[in-house]
A and B are shown apart, each in its own frame.
Chain A
Amino acid sequence: MNKITDKITHWEWLKIAKPARYMGGEVNQTEIKTNPQLRVCLIFPDLYELGMSNLAIKIFYEILNNQPEIMAERAFSPWVDLETLLRKKGLPLFSLETATPLNVFDALFISLPYEMTFTNVVNLLDLSNIPIRWKERNSGPLIIAGGPSAANPLPVSTIMDAVLIGDGEEAIVEICQKLLQGKSSGSTISETRKSLKSIEGMWVPQFPDKVKRRIFTDFSKSTPPEKLLIPNVQTVHNRAPLEIFRGCVNGCRFCNAGFYYRPKRERNVDCLAQSARRMLENTGEESLGLLSLSTSDYSQLPDLVSKLEENKIYPEQKISIPSMRMNENTIKLLKNHKGALTFAPEAGSQRLRNIICKNVTEKDIFDVIEATRDINYRTLKLYFMMGLPFESQDDLDAIVELVKKIEYISKKMKPRKQISISLSGFIPKPFTPFQWCKQASMDELKNKRITVNQGLRNTRARLSWRDEYLCMLEAVLSRGDESVSELIIAAHKAGCRFDGWNELFNRAGWEKAFKELNFEPEHFSQQFSLEKMLPWDFIDFQVPRSFLESEYQKAAEIAGESIS
């Protein structure tokens, strides 16, 4: 086989940061099948270190490679050093398993976990010599996307052949069956696209129609991926991920994931304990991550944790719980906690927390901090949002007051806690009760951030914030319509990629793209009318629009305002 990696010399590889990112060969990599009937590539449009931590890639890799007629490989975005080299040498981007150019595959399945990867998707296609718009493609791989950022597929509608809305476990096999049928019957690319329409959850831009979000109803009975790849380069989450439940019942009114993954489906404790054992035996990972949107809300969490503690396979085995809420379950777990503690009160005042339906009280926060008095952790990280609907100056002041109170309590604790505050601007996401809301302008967000920063001046809290321009851009990319596709393509042409990386974010490139297309970002950050259809209303999200409206109404009532 003609491997692309062989066309790069040893000395060229040594100029590339972490070359092992691009070479594959990890433990538990799938066997190379000779002449599989269908070759697909799973793509995560960011670096290997992030992609190898992504749960969707692990799930689909195992599901697809368990099908004898399918071989699924992986590809990630190359860092700028490799991209420059590939372009200089005229080489296409390639898969990790067999170093095959991406344009040779039957399909590319692209995971879209966050909007800031959209220019990377364009870059991946461009680097693979694949025409970027579906209208320009008459052959080559089908480009199919999915993931929470594709909940509103319109911003990528010019690019993708098809988009899956919702859970992918069953749909991805059905897609592959359609592709196999298309291959064997010699279907044209257009015929194959049309055939994908019949799969629940699939939206095909060439044949736009209503679509119903796919829900994996058998999630509770399903087994999580157990034979996970062991990365050859340290990843951002160095742990074996065990998804204990999917969905969330909290109903935070700003949260896209909370609605995208509905309904809540829990896996059984005994099955999870067995899967955890097999996962750890197969990977040797030191840490087992109990994953979900809000792990403390797992109904049998103490039981699960004690089962896992009782059946330790090796002495240094740890349990990591990355997503905790401030509640009783959390306090029970904290006695064994070692790392930094991270919580997201999101708002400083009880009034605003009630408005956004963040079911946390000041007492919950203080109880958790008090409960950690004798625990040897050093950093307490708190996430807040600014520019939330119905926010007032008092709500911003309340962030400062809350941090000051927390600092006062933690002063008496040993070791003394470092309080770290992360501020981010609110983004009105589709399919949430706040999807109609206006986003605060960049100037407003900046002023709010300065207010909080000045309020915390005399404290030891460390403040970090998300750039206001990024917040505005994320609103455009998540609330956009078809026109945003061309904006993304123009931004890529202007040099934008890795938009989620501060060191590579190219604001001038985006501004050039906005100007070139005469594009008004404010159009997508404005208040949307309840009377009008939203661009994404053709999707049956399995959360009725009337429910979202009533939730928005409730929020307004708490604020004492009207939304009509």
Chain B
Amino acid sequence: MNQSNDTTIKITYGKNHQARYIAHLDTIDIICKALRRLKLPYIVSQGCHIRPKITFGSPLPLGHASRCEQFIISLARPVDPDWLKNNLGDCLPAGMDVIKVEQPAPDETKGANGDLVTYLLGFSELETATRAMEFLNNPETSFSQLSKGKVKNYKIGNACQSIKCFEHLSPVLIEAEFVQGQAGLPSVSKIITALADSLAKKRDNLVKIERISLIKL
């Protein structure tokens, strides 16, 4: 196949409401079907099992909302980004929407050394938000979780890079920036699960978990 006119396009999409519970691999499957329905001129991989050439971002943990999920697709010819934005959304299930369609930066698809991820955490009461601030803000915070049948111990360390609280909002919001994908650091998914565990019965006061930005390092 002549790929001289190949072009790539980056699509940013959101997952909210019930779509938060669609797993990463199922999301990929749904997006591939949506791209086929649009008859997009995507390039396919070579080999036995041909697939559209798509690069997806870091998996979103199950149950987390997001407004910064991304994938980059290789196309045989350019398509109108506005047309794609308007039509792709109609091919996605309830709770998924297309936020932005744009040209990727030249080095966008290169290998990354971890991610800088920003989350918004919403709390129905200030007291729980304050406990969460203390949990996340302390590099000495440690927790254990089951991983592949074994109990593993983790320490937050410098995984949480910055954190601020918007007390006047309802729900009370915490904006926290995490580094993940680096040796020795627990993933955001593990940290938030540990936070919820630490809140015990108050965990239902954690009413919003949303990834709002993801930058590859």
Please say whether chains A and B are actual partners in one complex.
yes
A280 vs B32: C-alpha distance when bound (angstroms): 13
A230 vs B91: C-alpha distance when bound (angstroms): 10
Cross-chain contact B196 with A282 (CB below 8 angstroms) = no
Q: Given A24, A233, A284, which contacts B37 in the complex, CB threshold below 8 Å?
A: A284
Measured between beta carbons, the chain A residues less than 8 angstroms from B203 are 11
- Chain A residue nearest to B35 in the complex (CB): A284
Instruction: Kindly state whether residue A9 has any CB partner on chain B within 8 Å.
Output: yes
Instruction: Kindly state whether residue B152 has any CB partner on chain A within 8 Å.
Output: no
Instruction: Kindly state whether residue A558 has any CB partner on chain B within 8 Å.
Output: no
- Chain A residue nearest to B34 in the complex (CB): A284
Instruction: Kindly state whether residue B146 has any CB partner on chain A within 8 Å.
Output: no
Q: Which among B92-100, B103-111, B128-136, B165-173 touches the partner chain?
A: B92-100
Cross-chain contact A20 with B22 (CB below 8 angstroms) = yes
- In the complex, chain B residues 18-54 whose Cβ is within 8 Å of any chain A Cβ: 18-19, 21-23, 25-26, 29-30, 32-37, 39, 44, 48, 50-52
Q: Given B18, B30, B32, B207, which contacts A286 in the complex, CB threshold below 8 Å?
A: B32
A283 vs B207: C-alpha distance when bound (angstroms): 34
Measured between beta carbons, the chain B residues less than 8 angstroms from A323 are none
Q: Considering only CB atoms and an 8 Å cut-off, how many residues of chain B contact the other chain?
A: 35
Q: Given B18, B26, B92, B95, which contacts A234 in the complex, CB threshold below 8 Å?
A: B26
Interface centre among A9, A286, A338, by most chain B C-beta atoms within 10 angstroms, is A286
Distance between B20 CB and nearest chain A CB, rounded to angstroms? 8
A233 vs B207: C-alpha distance when bound (angstroms): 25
Instruction: Kindly state whether residue A26 has any CB partner on chain B within 8 Å.
Output: yes
A27 and B36 in contact, given A9-B204, A11-B204, A234-B26 (Cβ under 8 angstroms): no
Cross-chain contact A285 with B33 (CB below 8 angstroms) = yes
A533 vs B125: C-alpha distance when bound (angstroms): 72
Cross-chain contact B18 with A20 (CB below 8 angstroms) = yes
A284 vs B19: C-alpha distance when bound (angstroms): 19
A230 vs B36: C-alpha distance when bound (angstroms): 13
Cross-chain contact B93 with A232 (CB below 8 angstroms) = yes
Measured between beta carbons, the chain A residues less than 8 angstroms from B94 are 24-26, 29
Q: Given A25, A280, A284, A338, which contacts B18 in the complex, CB threshold below 8 Å?
A: A25
Cross-chain contact A283 with B33 (CB below 8 angstroms) = yes
Cross-chain contact B26 with A282 (CB below 8 angstroms) = no
Instruction: Kindly state whether residue A1 has any CB partner on chain B within 8 Å.
Output: no
Measured between beta carbons, the chain A residues less than 8 angstroms from B157 are none
A23 vs B93: C-alpha distance when bound (angstroms): 11
Distance between A265 CB and nearest chain B CB, rounded to angstroms? 30
Cross-chain contact A23 with B21 (CB below 8 angstroms) = yes
Distance between A483 CB and nearest chain B CB, rounded to angstroms? 43
Cross-chain contact B62 with A284 (CB below 8 angstroms) = no
Instruction: Kindly state whether residue B181 has any CB partner on chain A within 8 Å.
Output: no
A341 vs B62: C-alpha distance when bound (angstroms): 36
Instruction: Kindly state whether residue A208 has any CB partner on chain B within 8 Å.
Output: no
Instruction: Kindly state whether residue B81 has any CB partner on chain A within 8 Å.
Output: no
A23 and B18 in contact, given A13-B63, A284-B33, A338-B48 (Cβ under 8 angstroms): yes
Instruction: Kindly state whether residue A457 has any CB partner on chain B within 8 Å.
Output: no
Q: Which among A52-60, A190-198, A308-316, A520-528 touches the partner chain?
A: A308-316
Measured between beta carbons, the chain A residues less than 8 angstroms from B95 are 25
- Chain B residue nearest to A25 in the complex (CB): B94
Q: 8 shortest A-B CB distances, which residue pairs?
A: A25-B94, A284-B33, A284-B36, A23-B18, A284-B37, A19-B21, A20-B21, A20-B22
- Excluding A10-B204, A11-B203, A313-B36, 8 further A-B contacts by CB distance (< 8 Å) are A11-B196, A11-B204, A13-B63, A19-B21, A25-B19, A232-B30, A284-B33, A284-B34
